[in-house]
């Protein structure tokens, strides 16, 4: 019996020992909210980790940078993307040319180019940034052919104006909606225009003989563009006063007779004055003294003033001359420069900083654009297989692009020249038969004008 009692005592002792071993303490993380929680731990060892990195690693060092890249290399943070104009990393907002920062491409700034379609009685409105057609404005206001010819833009007041050489009207349009506002009849084939934005005056020249058309009018008209009424005229005494340029203060108007090889300096305050005869100057020493004689020798076409208005540029379009003549504005009898150009220099445009001048060469056999570098007096020629009777010309406000129209048997085009290289970078077809002539380029941007 004693042996049996000893064995029972030994058995229960072993059970007690085993039960004590089963209750041995386990150290670890006892927080169920920690990413390294140990459900078997009975005693916390302060090892709990509450954070998971961007890769899902408990206690990992990887970080998500502003470009959504997850790693533990701090040296490459934010190198795979950038901030948009709102300061948002990887954002898609951008700053347009009007200073608006958003991601809405429908309100982006543009500038418009207006082109006279003389053959279809319309004006084409082109997005100057993309070259896409915005709209065509119908100008057929009379029962006869109207033939739009030349356009000027008043950006400060929000209007543009166009001459109709056949019906004799000048039309006024809203710059933003391109809707017609008013008109005035001046008659006698109105051609080029010079705009005085400060005093709200418009000066209108006359067409020159061309392919059987022309006018013997000797008058230049002054229009009040607020009321669209003719205020007066000046008879220069010579036929076809065509080329025209106005001083910045609006007090002096320069006009060249296309037929008489003379140019004139008109005091704008004397428009409508009876008997007033403006000063006249010969294009060259071999020109006859009388401006009443139509010699057709130099065929002055357009007049431009230098940026500082110290010089008067006149394109001489006679194919035997092919030159731009430059006169001293203070002493117009003094020829200060003569630049040979391509055949029949036509319309001209001076770059915004005054360092150069472009002129179209309206020739069928040798069409092109001439560039005169006014810094070193060099002349270079710009050519394109799509040039055909280049006519109108204008320059973007930043001076980076020159726009040229051409119209002939090959079709009508708007050509775009990169002024940094003087290469033709695009020729946009305007359609056959439109006869693209004068053009005007907005110098600033707008968001609500298309």
Chain segment 302-328, per-residue pLDDT in tens: 999 999 999 999 999 999 999 999 999
Give CA–CA dist 206/182, Å, rounded. 21
Which of 12-16, 252-256, 406-410 tops mean pLDDT? 252-256
Rg (CA), the chain: 39
Tell me, what's the pLDDT at 105? Answer: 64
Chain segment 412-433, per-residue pLDDT in tens: 999 999 999 999 999 999 988 8
- pLDDT bracket for residue 62 (50, 70, 90): very high
Assess contact for 124 and 136: CB atoms under 8 A: yes
**163 burial level (CB within 10 Å; 0-12, 13-18, 19+):** buried
What average pLDDT does this structure show over 49-73?
A: 92
With 60 as the cut, is the pLDDT of residue 212 above it?
no
- pLDDT bracket for residue 243 (50, 70, 90): very high
- pLDDT bracket for residue 288 (50, 70, 90): very high
Tell me, what's the pLDDT at 103? Answer: 74
- pLDDT bracket for residue 221 (50, 70, 90): very high
DSSP string, 220-263: EEEEETTTTEEEEEEE-SSS-EEEEEE-TTS-EEEEEETTTSEE
Which long-range CB contacts under 8 A does 17-20 form with residues at least 24 apart? Answer: none
Percent pLDDT > 90 in the chain is 75
Q: Where are the beta strands (DSSP E) in 329-432?
A: 335-340, 345-350, 356-361, 368-373, 378-382, 390-395, 401-408, 411-418, 423-431
Q: Among 220, 233, 219, 292, which residue's Cα sits nearest to residue 259?
A: 292
Tell me, what's the pLDDT at 215? Answer: 55
With 60 as the cut, is the pLDDT of residue 157 above it?
yes
Give CA–CA dist 154/195, Å, rounded. 8
- CATH fold for the domain made of 108-441: Methylamine Dehydrogenase; Chain H (2.130.10)
Task: For residue 155, give Cα distances in angstroms to 261, 351, 400.
Answer: 34, 18, 20
- pLDDT bracket for residue 11 (50, 70, 90): low
More confident residue, 103 or 185: 185
Q: How many CB atoms lie within 10 A of CB 429?
A: 12
- Residue 130: DSSP 8-state: T
């Amino acid at each position: 019996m004693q042996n049996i009692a000893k064995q029972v005592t030994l058995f229960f002792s072993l059970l007690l020992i085993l039960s004590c071993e089963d209750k041995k303490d386990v150290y670890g993380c006892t927080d169920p909210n920690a990413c390294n929680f140990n459900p078997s731990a009975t005693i916390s060892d302060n090892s709990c980790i509450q954070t998971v990195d961007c890769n899902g690693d408990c206690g990992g060092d990887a970080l998500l940078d502003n470009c959504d890249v997850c790693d533990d290399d701090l040296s490459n943070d934010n190198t795979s993307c950038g901030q948009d104009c709102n300061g948002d990393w990887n954002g898609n907002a951008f700053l347009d040319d009007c200073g608006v920062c958003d991601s809405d491409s429908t309100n982006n700034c543009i500038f418009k180019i207006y082109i006279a379609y003389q053959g279809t009685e319309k004006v084409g409105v082109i997005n100057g940034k993309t070259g896409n057609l915005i709209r065509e404005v119908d100008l057929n206001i009379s029962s006869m052919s109207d033939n739009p010819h030349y356009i000027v833009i008043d950006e400060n007041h929000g209007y543009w104006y166009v001459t109709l050489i056949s019906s004799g009207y000048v039309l006024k349009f809203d710059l933003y909606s391109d809707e017609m506002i008013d008109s005035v009849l001046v008659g006698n084939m109105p051609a080029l225009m010079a705009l005085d934005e400060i005093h709200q005056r418009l000066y209108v020249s006359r067409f020159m003989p061309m392919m059987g058309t022309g006018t013997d009018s000797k008058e230049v008209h002054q229009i009040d563009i607020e009321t669209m009424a003719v205020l007066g005229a000046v008879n220069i005494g010579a036929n076809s006063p065509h080329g025209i340029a106005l001083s910045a203060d609006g007090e002096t108007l320069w006009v060249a007779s296309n037929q008489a090889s003379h140019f004139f300096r008109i005091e704008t305050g004397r428009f409508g004055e009876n008997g007033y005869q403006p000063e006249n100057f010969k294009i060259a020493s071999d020109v006859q003294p009388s401006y009443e004689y139509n010699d057709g020798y130099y065929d002055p076409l357009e007049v431009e003033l230098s940026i500082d208005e110290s010089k008067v540029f006149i394109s001489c379009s006679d194919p035997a001359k092919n030159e731009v003549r430059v006169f001293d504005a203070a002493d117009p009898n003094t020829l200060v420069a003569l630049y040979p150009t391509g055949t029949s220099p036509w319309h001209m445009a001076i770059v915004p900083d005054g360092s150069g001048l472009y002129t179209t060469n309206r020739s069928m056999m040798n069409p092109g654009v001439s560039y005169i570098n006014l810094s070193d007096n060099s002349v270079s020629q710009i050519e394109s297989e799509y040039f055909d009777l280049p006519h109108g010309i204008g320059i973007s406000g930043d001076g980076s692009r020159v726009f040229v129209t051409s119209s002939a048997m090959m079709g009508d085009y708007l050509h775009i020249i990169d002024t940094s290289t003087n290469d033709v970078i695009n020729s946009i077809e305007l359609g056959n038969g439109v006869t693209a002539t004068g053009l005007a380029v907005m110098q600033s941007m707008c968001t609500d004008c298309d």
